[in-house]
Amino acid sequence: MSIKVTVVDDSKMSRRAVIRALPEEFTQELHEAQNGKEALELYEQGKADVMFLDLTMPEMDGFDVLAALKDKQARNFVFVISADIQPHSQQKVMELGAVRFLQKPLEADQLLDVLKEVGLL
């Protein structure tokens, strides 16, 4: 089974850090988006079974992406990866349908554990 993964962050360096942390199974079909608008386009194209989403981005932030996916009744896995660790932000992303909130910088072993917990590995 090929899992279509989209990594969304306005920082190329941050996208690369997430990609490096991904297990090999998740790098077969990989897409990148620089903002929320691009992320939703990739979702509409069927390229985001799993989405790793930053919150703070230009054009359309992570909260807006989550709200749009919720409106579409999306059935994908969205993991929010952010340096914004405020409890209010974490609660809001979970209410909007995120599977997990992960703190930047992302650790590969932490990501592996989370993917196992939610049944993706």
Which structural domain range is residue 83 located in? Answer: 4-117
pTM: 0.95
- The CATH number of the domain holding residue 41 is 3.40.50.2300
* CA–CA distance, 120 with 25 (Å, rounded to integer): 10
* CA–CA distance, 7 with 87 (Å, rounded to integer): 23
pLDDT tens, residue order, the chain (121 aa): 689 999 999 999 999 999 999 998 888 899 999 999 999 999 999 999 999 999 999 889 999 999 999 999 999 999 999 998 889 999 999 999 999 999 998 999 999 999 999 999 9
Domain count for the chain: 1
